[in-house]
């Protein structure tokens, strides 16, 4: 038994079939195709990148284009010919989608047919890719299904909205018919918004994943770079619990301002050296790789490192000596600063003198025998021993402008940090850890000390502000790297405070004044509290 709460007159008359407005019909076509392309892109990125419908069709278009037209396109658009092709495809596809939508004002079938035809075209193009595997069918088919579902679903919503509008045309506001028309219209708008957001998100994620995969592949293609000799014997006291002299790439500390790791492939890589120079130079990755003759261990340190902090790591870098490149460009007398820019817009400002005074300043391509990890600046970064990272270690570097300290302020300088930032002498206790309980009596204390480009010659430790005791130093490898140390202290039972200080090769002992990192590096002696039991 049914109850009918509405009088029969309120019920919609059997529609002869509503007609969608041109605007709605066109939008429906575009949204269905956009969602199909977005889903196709995302699924392809996850399954098999070359099968992305848009890119597979673009690839075929390039393959089928006669040589004379290709030459003309390259002549007219230069290196932007691919972008022009993709933009052209976007215009054509949008036009076709609008037409398909407009043809679907009464029935969803023209739009569905369009999606199916586009789907079959992309299937055909994907299957024509030289590297084809059966997995190449997945993305175009997913695109087809998503596009067809969007076309059918949006069309149903649009019909309902159109029907309700016709029925409500004669009804007063607030009546059930008018409310129903408003609801139907809201559902249609929600459906369209969902399709738009879905197309945007899938398309964006697909593009990003594909870019990341392409850069990963570009890095793999570089192959191994000269492998560093094994660290010299006795360079660390890892056997006593101290840090290893060489930091594994995966453990190397990381600092970036960018929310996402920049993705730059070797094929797209260009470095421009310009400004106060005799000759502007533009180099690509292969140019740099051919000149990469310098191999040196360098300990990088972040200016933000607190006393006792771990924003310091050591690796063997391989790269092009900066002084070679600067000599080639011919730096003008007045030029005292290199303004380096990363592909993500970050900038550093490095003294020209530090890059020409004979130290191992370089554009690094390799780190511990591998191409730079992407998060450490692949394909190319700057490394200058002795300077904090924010004034020297520009990652994903694409531009070096010779300028002056008067004319240019780098990223962190603009935010109040010092223009010049040589690394301050520091030392750190790694064992025992702060808060540890240790057996009373003879306790091994071990850690690291650094004073890059000056070198560490002396480290002392003490307990409870007692007399300083000289620590044993590990083998000296380079003035540009940290130096490990260890000592045995005799600790009576109870709460003990252990402290360390280092002296660099100029004879200067580490500054005891506790100071925060801002504006040019922290000072103070690292102190840990332990309990001897």
Please select the residue that binds Mo ion; options are 147, 242, 308, 389, rule is CB under 5 A: 389
Do the Cβ atoms of 436 and 530 come closer than 8 Å?
Answer: yes
Determine if 399 is a binding residue for ligand MTE (CB under 6 A). no
CA dist 427 and 242 (Å) reads: 13
User: Among residues 268 and 344, whose Cβ is nearest to ligand MTE?
Assistant: 344
CA dist 342 and 399 (Å) reads: 7
Q: What residue 300 binds from Mo ion, ligand MTE, none (CB within 5 to 8 A, per partner kind)?
A: ligand MTE
**What is the full DSSP assignment across 389-425?**
GGGT--SSEEEEEEE-TTT---TTTTTT--S--BPPP
Do the Cβ atoms of 466 and 486 come closer than 8 Å?
Answer: no
Q: What residue 393 binds from ligand MTE, Mo ion, none (CB within 5 to 8 A, per partner kind)?
A: ligand MTE
Within 222-281, the residues that bind Mo ion by CB under 5 A are 255
User: Among residues 38 and 262, whose Cβ is nearest to ligand MTE?
Assistant: 262
Within 272-301, the residues that bind ligand MTE by CB under 6 A are 300
Listed ranges 2-10, 252-260, 439-447, 464-472: which one lies at the site for ligand MTE (CB under 6 A): 252-260
- For residue 24, report the phi and psi dihedrals to the nearest 5 degrees: -65, -40
**What are the beta bridge partners of residue 494?**
532
The secondary element (H helix, E strand) that includes residue 429 is: strand 426-431
Determine if 396 is a binding residue for ligand MTE (CB under 6 A). yes
CA dist 397 and 269 (Å) reads: 9
3-state secondary structure 170-205: CCCCCCHHHHHHHHHHHHHHHHHHHHHHHHHHHHHH
| Residue nearest ligand MTE by beta-carbon distance | 389
Determine if 346 is a binding residue for ligand MTE (CB under 6 A). yes
User: Among residues 105 and 453, whose Cβ is nearest to Mo ion?
Assistant: 453
Within 438-497, the residues that bind ligand MTE by CB under 6 A are none
Listed ranges 85-93, 115-123, 393-401, 470-478: which one lies at the site for ligand MTE (CB under 6 A): 393-401
Is-cis flag, bond preceding 379, omega within 30?
yes
User: Among residues 195 and 315, whose Cβ is nearest to ligand MTE?
Assistant: 315
Please select the residue that binds ligand MTE; options are 25, 162, 302, 374, rule is CB under 6 A: 302
Please select the residue that binds ligand MTE; options are 257, 470, 475, 506, rule is CB under 6 A: 257
Q: How far is the CB of 228 from ligand MTE (least distance, A)?
A: 17
Letter string b/e over residues 15-49, b meaning 16 or more CB atoms within 10 A of that residue's CB: eeebebeeebbbbbbbbbbbbbbbbbbbbbbbbbb
Q: What residue 252 binds from ligand MTE, Mo ion, none (CB within 5 to 8 A, per partner kind)?
A: ligand MTE
Given the DSSP bridges, would you call strands 437-438 and 527-532 parallel, antiparallel or unpaired?
Answer: parallel
**What is the full DSSP assignment across 230-295?**
PPPTTS--GGGTPPPSSPPGGGS----SSSS-----TTT-EEEEEESBSS-EEEEHHHHHHH--EE
Determine if 420 is a binding residue for ligand MTE (CB under 6 A). no
3-class secondary-structure state, position 125: helix
Within 370-389, the residues that bind ligand MTE by CB under 6 A are 376, 389
Q: What residue 468 binds from Mo ion, ligand MTE, none (CB within 5 to 8 A, per partner kind)?
A: none
User: Among residues 295 and 392, whose Cβ is nearest to Mo ion?
Assistant: 392
User: Among residues 390 and 525, whose Cβ is nearest to Mo ion?
Assistant: 390
Determine if 488 is a binding residue for Mo ion (CB under 5 A). no
Q: What residue 394 binds from Mo ion, ligand MTE, none (CB within 5 to 8 A, per partner kind)?
A: ligand MTE
Determine if 29 is a binding residue for Mo ion (CB under 5 A). no
List alpha helices for 48-175, DSSP H. Answer: 53-64, 67-77, 81-102, 109-127, 138-168
Provide the binding-site residues for Mo ion, judged by CB under 5 A. 255, 302, 389-390
- Where on the chain is the footprint of ligand MTE (CB under 6 A)? 252-257, 300, 302, 342, 344, 346, 376, 389-390, 393-396
């Amino acid at each position: 038994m049914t109850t009918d709460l509405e009088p029969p007159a309120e019920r919609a008359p059997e529609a002869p079939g509503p007609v969608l407005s041109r605007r709605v019909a066109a939008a429906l076509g575009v949204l269905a195709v956009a969602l199909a392309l977005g889903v196709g892109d995302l699924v392809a990125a996850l399954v098999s990148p070359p099968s992305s419908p848009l890119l597979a069709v673009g690839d075929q278009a390039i393959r089928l284009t006669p040589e004379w037209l290709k030459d003309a396109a390259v002549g007219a658009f230069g290196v932007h010919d691919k972008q022009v092709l993709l933009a052209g495809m976007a215009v054509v596809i949008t036009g076709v989608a609008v037409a398909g939508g407009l043809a679907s004002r009464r029935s969803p079938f023209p739009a569905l047919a369009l999606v199916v035809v586009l789907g079959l075209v992309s299937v055909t193009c994907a299957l024509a890719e030289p590297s084809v595997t059966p997995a190449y069918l997945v993305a175009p088919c997913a695109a087809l299904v998503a596009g067809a579902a969007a076309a059918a679903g949006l069309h149903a919503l649009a019909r309902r909205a159109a029907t309700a509008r016709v029925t409500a045309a004669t009804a007063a506001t607030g009546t059930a018919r008018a409310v129903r028309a408003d609801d139907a219209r809201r559902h249609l708008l929600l459906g369209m918004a969902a399709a738009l957001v879905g197309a945007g998100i899938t398309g964006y994620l697909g593009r990003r994943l594909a870019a990341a995969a392409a850069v990963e592949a570009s890095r793999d293609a570089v192959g191994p770079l000269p492998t560093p000799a094994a660290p010299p014997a006795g360079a660390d006291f890892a056997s006593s619990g101290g840090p290893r002299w060489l930091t594994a790439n995966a453990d190397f500390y990381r600092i970036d301002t960018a929310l996402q790791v920049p993705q730059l492939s070797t094929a797209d890589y260009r470095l421009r050296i310009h400004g106060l120079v005799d000759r502007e130079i533009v180099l690509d990755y292969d140019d740099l790789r051919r000149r990469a003759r310098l191999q040196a261990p360098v300990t990088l340190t972040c200016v933000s490192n607190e006393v006792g902090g771990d924003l310091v790591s050591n690796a063997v870098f391989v790269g092009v000596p900066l002084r070679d490149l600067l000599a080639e460009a011919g730096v003008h007398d007045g030029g005292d600063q290199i303004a380096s820019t990363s592909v993500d817009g970050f900038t550093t400002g490095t003294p020209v003198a530090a890059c020409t005074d004979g130290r191992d300043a370089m554009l690094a391509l390799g780190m511990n025998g591998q191409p730079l990890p992407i998060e450490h600046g692949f394909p190319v970064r700057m490394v200058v021993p002795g300077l904090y990272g924010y004034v020297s270690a520009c990652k994903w570097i694409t531009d070096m402008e010779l300028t002056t300290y008067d004319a240019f302020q780098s990223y962190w300088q603009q935010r109040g940090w010092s223009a010049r930032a040589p690394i301050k002498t520091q030392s750190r206790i790694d064992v025992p850890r702060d808060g540890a309980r240790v057996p009373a009596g003879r306790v091994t204390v071990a850690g690291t000390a650094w004073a890059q480009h000056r070198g560490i010659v002396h480290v002392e430790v003490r307990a409870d502000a007692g007399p300083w005791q000289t620590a044993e130093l590990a083998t000296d490898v380079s003035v540009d790297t940290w130096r490990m140390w260890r000592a045995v202290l005799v600790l009576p039972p109870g709460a003990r405070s252990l402290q360390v200080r280092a002296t660099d090769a100029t004879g200067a002992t580490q500054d005891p004044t506790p100071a925060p990192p801002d504006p040019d590096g922290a000072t103070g002696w690292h102190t840990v509290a332990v309990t001897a039991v």
